[in-house]
Structure 1
Amino acid sequence: MEAPRLEAAVTLPGEDFSRVALTAAAIELLNKLWEQHGPLMFHQSGGCCDGSSPMCYPAGEFLTGDSDVLLGRFDIGAEDCPQPLEFWMSREQFEYWSHTHLTVDVVPGRGSGFSVESPEGKRFLIRSTLMEWNVPKP
């Protein structure tokens, strides 16, 4: 049986399905981090090592632009949460992962020093599954 997860609100034009979700463990950690840092965001770039992990930043600290795609928005139920948590991915990385559904999970270990969960002794990671239909690319 699959563990419960929170699906993101759809953000890509022409799509009616979520591309990204959070596990219960990710939501629990995000609520703790939200209390410490205020509103948060994710950015998934490409590359090796920590560059392939989702990076969690205070909202607006990582500047996004035309080279990024907004894959979804989450209402994680954080206290004083006036804005959703956004999940961004570099457009180039999205070209590779456009056929997958992504789930953000948490595992023990230290992630990048730039991601806000690093001092917690945990790190976010992506679990991906193939989508079974053809979807348009933005």
Structure 2
Amino acid sequence: MDTTSELVGQRVADVYLRECASRSVLQLLANKWTFLVLGALADGPQRFGVLLRRADGITQKSLTQTLRGLERDGLLSRTVYPTIPPRVEYELTDLGRSVGGLIGQINVWAEANLSSVVAAREEYDEHVGEEPRPVTR
């Protein structure tokens, strides 16, 4: 599985294999900006400035790169309206909407379990420098 065309021809993918082309899709989805932009676009078409404000902390350069990558990968479409100045909107494609449901579920899980994760981090940090305790049975 050295190339994407070989993978497509075989219809076999295993993201756990180092050489599998599906890793590039996993890498795309694991990017925090990709994740946030896809989540923001789940609400419908958005303009660049709206996405920039919605994905708080992203730079214009990172947003531009993220949008171009998502368009290239077929997850969103870009529509330029013939106005002065030109108005540009970004919208999820069917492929983008199919992953959008997963992103929505992960967002719900993250928000619902935030306090548990924070508590686990605090507990871990309290014990990180301690010597291991023997197991008693």
TM-score of the two chains, using structure 2 as the length reference: 0.24
> Which has the larger strand fraction?
1
> Which of 1 and 2 has greater Rg?
2
> Which has the larger helix fraction?
2
TM-score of the two chains, using structure 1 as the length reference: 0.24
